[in-house]
Structure 1
Amino acid sequence: MKVRHIIPVLLGTTLAVPPATAEDAVTLDTIVVTASRADLPERAIGSAVTVVTEERARREQAKRITDLLRDVPGVQVSQDRPGAWTSISIRGSDNGQVLVLMDGVRLGDPSSTETAFQFDHLDVEGIDRIEVLRGNQSSLYGSDAIGGVVNIITRRPVQDGWRLSSGLELGPDGWRRATATLLWKRGDLDARVSGFSTHYDGPSQADPRTSPVPGPMDDDAHRGNGIGTALGWQIAPQLRAELTGLRSDTRHEYDSPPSDGSDTVEKDEWNLGARILHESADRTLRQTLSWGRYNARRTYHTGFSRPEGDVYDGTLTRYGYDVTWKPVEPWSLVGGVTREKEETLQITNYTGSFIASNATTALFTEAAWRPDDHLTLTAALRRDDNDQFGTFNTWRLTGAYLLSASGAADVKLRASYGTGAKAPGLYQLYDPTYGNPDLTAQRSRGWDIGADVYWPDAGLELGATYFQNRVEDKIAWGLREDGSYGYYMAGRTREKGIELSWQAEILQDLLIQHNHTWVLSHNDETGQWRGQPRNSGALTVSYRPGDWSVGARLRYASRNGLGAVSGYGQEIGGYGVTDLLASYRLDERAELYGRIENVLDKQYQTSWGYNTNARSLFAGIRLSLQGN
């Protein structure tokens, strides 16, 4: 069923805090819901967390979620074109070791290689903010959170009336992107509907410079449509219900880099969720009952597929109940139970067909102690009971101390230590060709220590973090001892690195932002370095005089490390790509904007064998209307 033919369905969202308006920038006292189940303000958080707002997405003319994630410290994105198979890494992790949430619903495809979520189509339309939590988070969120958590929170109306925003963007290679969001609120009811449509005609996904066959290469087109909805009902002063969700369908042509090809894949994806929140009149007790479901169905048409296409269908269903209790200051106690089931259906003649499922029941608790505005300590413990792998326990400790000085900068010292676990995916276990039923759960432990400086009078913020992480029983794909290719236990890997970030607002109109990450990943058993750049980062300069806004952005990465190679046995060179951006606000209802990506026309790769865009000019318009 295509998105353009469906009646929008209503789905579930997070109920932990009142939503912010899309125009609000994140302040220093903003509650960050991802870093702790106890809902601590940003200055009290002992973990490394970055909040990306809708305001920044607008200023940087972001199209997809990955456009914003690539500017977060510690995060690396594998691709930068629509339709390409896109994965992210946090602190050197695998894509499947990053947990992705949208409005409280877990996104992850059990039919993929490691129950991972693919970001290739996820548009920024309707997004209010993104919270990126780095480091071991399994004690709070269970499996898939070894590297960190990406929590996507969509927009909500907070005032009675309606507001409609829309946009249209054009670019080279047939690029077209149309978006719209309607927010509505009347009394105890509120709603949101967001939609996007994208069209792209190429060029080839495989890079001609590294193709083994010289000559012209065909274009690889992409089509995508999506619609997201939300409905909230304040049933009573202490009782609220919300439904949210997203439905999308995409079709794109793809290659098998470094070689050209003419394969296609159609992906139908949706998530549903529902939550009911009850909070006591004195706000010392809050209970949340939740349900969420995510489904992805991929149909491949290749030279090896069945005439009707090879099907990979995965469903992830989660039930949960959690309670937050503040019995007495300065304590906050959190506890909960979840039941999660993964199901996959694979129909293919290429590696073989199978049906499989697995379920996990978990109990978790967290305690936060905040005796004053300076010191915050948290401790979390989780026990997961997996139908196949038995039980495993994870835990986490964090601490933060805020040094405040009147009229000067505030300095937050923070540290965290935690353990994690990641169960094998159903594909890794049961695929008839590449699967290995003898795989065991990956286990990890890691720590970080850092400092954040807040200096509002000077318009300055600084952040620095040193981290280490170790994964035992790492699952990898390659040549096994029996001479076949597939999944096997690759031993221990270690990651360590430094994350740096700063931003300065100069003369009120000039904003400079910079982040840099140094990360080193090593496999102790093979002695090989992981094929990721050791150094990467982004520098953005924005100047906003009056109705104008102009800016420049530099994204850079070093080669993928001494002795490190990509999955194809090749080293990827370093690069630096510069973009220029500008916009002009005609009035309160209309804004024109444009940008030149890769203005110096650099030739580079983010994944070996994959093509990237040459110099490209984009132009668009944004419209906004509102009423009572």
Structure 2
Amino acid sequence: MKRLLATASALVLGTGAATAQQYLELGTIVVSANQTETEADRVGATVDVLDEYDLGRSTGPELVDTLTRLPGITASANGGVGTATTLRIRGLGSGYVSTRINGIDVTDPTEIKQSYNWGGLTAAGLSRVEVLKGSQSALYGSSAIAGVVNIFTWRPTSEGISYRFSGEAGSYGTASVSGSVGYLSDRAELALTMTRLHTDGFSAADENDGNTERDGFDGKTIYFSGSYALTDQVRVGFDMIYEEHEADIDGYSMFPPYGLIDTPDKNFTDRKGGRIFATFDGDNVSHELEASYFKTTRYDPNGYTQRFEGMRKGARYTGTVRPSFGTLVFGAEYAEEKARLDSDKSRSDTASVFGEAQFGLSDNLDLTTSLRVDRHSEFGTEPTGRIALAWRPDQAWTIRSAIATGFRAPSLYELFDPTYGNDTLKPEKSRSFELGAEREFSNGGLIAATLFYTRINDLIDWDSGRYIQVPGTTTTRGIEFSSEFPLGERVTFLGNYTYTRARTAAGDQLSRVPEHDLLLGLRASLTNRLDGQVFVNHVADRVDTGPMPDYTVVNAGLSFDLTPASQIYLRVDNLTDRQYQTARGYGTSDRAFYAGIRADF
């Protein structure tokens, strides 16, 4: 459901704040906003949660389509499924968003701004997504200026062997299938998920500009996780991910009138990563050791640079002490990154120490302070911190506030590219502040509002043939509203609105960031077995090399319970067949129909 922090169905899954794989209590949701699991109403920072219910009722073929239902989250894509897709949190793009799958940092070290390409990632095989907003470098290090997206894959929730299956087919020659198998006992857990997605697609360059060639996509994904309790106090485990994507893309005309045109270009991407960990949980002290590895390979046979290889290796120790007055966390981390662009090679490493103190100042007031110091091999030391406060004046209200600093280290490309790089670059630095209030009602309704502000100094940008530090301050500020109310016994209203004022140091509006983003939705239990939903999304006041038209898109769906553990469903994307663009010159889906089935065994 679309909510700020809320109660959902009980799950057993991994949710470590920075990277730790832990196990949750059944019942009240805890989130990854601190270095340890924390009850939702004790978190001072803003966190949005998508659970299995939400992910199973997506409003598009990719996960990003569901994420954009959350307040403060927008996206733009260079075409259809699998093309370059940017996720923005409060106006700041993927280069400022730390992204992790099962605790593995999946951002690409070879990107101009180290980031994750959201194109091609579906909700299949996922159980939970948490979006932590605001500068979070005190927890996650570099690139977490806008926030963090933590993605958790499916895990078994009942003892013995269990299975999950889903399949979907629809417009544009689209077909997808996902299968999961898991095992759970009092000591062991295993989970394996395999997904496959194919679509013939539509033209990445907008068909309304005369482009008719279809740009398709093929994607394969494997998630594999497991853990075993050696004793009542010691647990060891692993996580593995593998992604293989092949996407058709379009290019630019080198001749007048220039612009995007149909081309036969393709882009190939492989991602693979792994993580091993060991935890020791005592009565008042716990320890965790982990090591991780991630590699991404991109091949663009038509590009100026054709082959991109990025690698990240890391190790981390986290200790937790639980004295009578709260929780103290301390630890250290090391990461090495390498990039190879054709024959050009580069590397950097970062050593970090961190600490956090969580205090229950009273039964209804919680304070969390976090501090981290990163030492980068190129630019030296960068300290960051965060103070977060959660106050519950009564059972209905929660007041949250957080102030934090963050940084984004210059990427290997920005530092060392032989043509455009600049090895004198320093990190971009940020400060963020937020103040929010949440009110729950006895009928299950919820309303929340959050004021936010982020400023970035020493912005890195391209100018006069190389990357430089831009004088001045880039700012994003605004307000998020989120609500959910039952309208009788069978109908629920959902809505949110975000106003974002995002400006460069020169006073220009940040590209592709809407000032106004409104979403209204209804969910209804039409019968005891038939559910329906409809969402209306209105986006206004954007620029992308000039003003962009406003647009309104309607998505709808029906689901029917065959059994308590299986469903069939119908989804209609862009119900009114609206012609619009999220990035200038690039196409979006016309009205499209999809039907599918999902089942647990």
User: Shorter-chain-normalised TM-score: which range?
Assistant: over 0.9
- 3-state SS of 1:367 partner: strand
Q: Which runs of 4+ in 1 moved over 6 A?
A: none
227-236 vs 434-443, greater mean Cα deviation: 434-443
Specify whether residues 111 and 15 from structure 1 end up closer, same or farther in structure 2 by C-alpha distance, changes over 3 A only: closer
Matched, 1:366 2:356: yes
Aligned match of 1:98 = 97
1:493-508 equivalent positions in 2, closer than 5 A: 493-508=474-489
Q: What's the counterpart of residue 391 of structure 1? A: 381
Q: Which residue of 2 aligns with 1:378?
A: 368
Distance 2:327 2:599 in 1: 44
User: Percent identity among equivalent residues?
Assistant: 27
Are the aligned partners of 1:459 and 1:506 in contact in 2 as well (CA < 8 Å)? no
Per-residue CA distance 1:279-300 (angstroms, 9 max, x = gap): 00x2x21111111111110011
Mapped pair 1:475 → 2:464: no
Map 1:209-288 → 2, pairs under 5 A: 209=208, 211=209, 215-256=210-251, 258-280=260-282, 282=283, 284-288=284-288
**Given the alignment of the two structures, is residue 18 of structure 1 paired with residue 17 of structure 2, yes or no?**
no
Contact preservation (8 Å) 1:331, 1:367: yes
Determine whether 1:41 maps to 2:50: no
CA contact (8 A) 1:199 1:222 kept: yes
- Aligned pairs for 1:152-551 (under 5 A) are 152-209=151-208, 211=209, 215-256=210-251, 258-280=260-282, 282=283, 284-302=284-302, 310-328=306-324, 330-347=325-342, 353-405=343-395, 410-455=396-441, 457-477=442-462, 479-480=463-464, 484=465, 486-491=466-471, 492-524=473-505, 526-531=506-511, 532-544=513-525, 545-551=527-533
CA distance in structure 1 between the aligned counterparts of 2:434 and 2:20, rounded to whole angstroms: 29
Q: Is 1:100–1:151's contact at 8 Å kept on the other side of the alignment? A: yes
TM-score, structure 2 length as denominator?
0.92
Secondary structure, aligned partner of 1:262:
coil
Q: CA shift at 1:436, angstroms?
A: 2.3
- Aligned residues of 1:242 and 1:275 also touching (Cα < 8 A): yes
What is the aligned residue count? 575
8 Å Cα contact 2:574/2:590 also seen in 1: yes
Shift, 1:559, TM fit:
2.6
- Counterpart CA distance in 2 for 1:324 and 1:460 is 36
1:136–1:420 CA contact under 8 A, matched in 2: yes
**Whole-angstrom CA distance in 1 between matches of 2:359 and 2:70:** 29
Q: Which amino acid aligns with 2:321?
A: W
Q: Deviation string for 1:267-325 (max 9, x for gaps)?
A: 11111111111100x2x2111111111111001121756xxxx1101011121001111
* Matching residue within 541, 557, 562 for 1:586: 562
1:350 aligns to what? none
CA offsets per residue over residues 554-606 of structure 1, 9 Å max, x none?
1221131xxxx32xx23221111001200111223532110111111100001
Contact 1:397-1:417 within 8 A present in 2 as well: yes
Letter in 1 for 2:417: D
Q: 8 Å contact 2:434–2:451 — kept in the other structure?
A: yes
Change in Cα spacing, 1:216 to 1:442, as seen in structure 2 (3 Å) is: closer
> What does the per-residue CA deviation read over 1:214-241, in whole Å, with 9 as the maximum and x for residues that have no partner?
x443111111111111111011111111
The 2-side partners of 1:375 and 1:236 are apart by: 36
Deviations 1:467-520, CA, capped at 9 Å, x for gaps:
11110011123x42xxx3x42222320111101101113334322221211111
Instruction: Give ranges in structure 1 of 5+ residues lacking alignment.
Output: 1-10, 22-26, 348-352
Q: Cα–Cα, structure 1 residues 253 and 62, in superposed 2: closer, same or farther, change >3 Å?
A: closer
Partner amino acid, structure 2, of 1:298:
R
> Aligned partners of 1:244 and 1:389: how far apart in 2?
32
TM-score of the two chains, using structure 1 as the length reference: 0.88
Paired residue secondary structure (1:66): helix
**Deviation (angstroms), 1:20:** 7.2
One-letter amino acid matched to 2:145? I
Which of 529, 534, 539 in structure 2 is aligned with 1:552? 534
1:602-613 pair list within 5 angstroms = 602-613=578-589
Give the C-alpha shift of residue 19 in structure 1: 4.6
Aligned letter for 1:464?
A: A
